[in-house]
Amino acid sequence: MSAPGQEAWDALTAALLQITQHAERLAALDEREAAHYQRIADHLAGLTRQLDETTDRVSGIQATANKQAAILGSLDGLDQQVAAIAAKLTDLVPVRADGGGGEDDSYQPAPTARWWKLADDDRDQALARLRAWVEQIYRPGFGHLAAALGPCWDQHPLCLYGLDWLMELWSLLYLAPDRTPGTIASQAEWQTRLLPALAEQMYLETSRCQHANSLDHGRGGRPGPSAHPRGVR
| pLDDT recorded at residue 90 | 60
Confidence at residue 97, expressed as pLDDT on a 0 to 100 scale: 37
C-alpha distances in Å from residue 155, one per residue of 14, 61, 123, 146, 202: 89, 26, 12, 17, 12
**What's residue 229's pLDDT?**
54
Give, for all 233 residues of the chain, the pLDDT tens digit.
Answer: 556 667 777 777 877 777 887 778 888 877 887 887 788 878 778 888 888 888 888 777 877 777 777 776 666 666 677 767 766 666 555 444 344 444 556 778 888 888 888 888 888 999 999 999 999 999 999 999 999 999 999 999 999 999 999 999 999 899 888 888 888 999 999 999 999 999 999 999 998 888 666 655 444 444 444 445 554 44
Q: How far apart are CA 75 and CA 161, in angstroms?
A: 16
- Predicted local confidence at residue 115, as pLDDT: 85
Looking at residue 139, what is its pLDDT? 94
- The CA distance from 13 to 1, in Å, is 19
DSSP state of 148: T
For residue 20, the model assigns a pLDDT of: 83
Answer for the pair 148, 227: CB distance below 8 angstroms, yes or no: yes
Distance, in Å, from the CA atom of 164 to the CA atom of 77, rounded to the nearest integer, reads 20
Length of the chain: 233
Q: How many CB atoms lie within 10 A of CB 78?
A: 13
142 within 8 A of 201, measured Cβ to Cβ:
no
DSSP annotation of 110: P
Q: For the residues of 123-152, what is the DSSP string, one character each?
A: HHHHHHHHHHHIIIIIHHHSHHHHHTS-TT
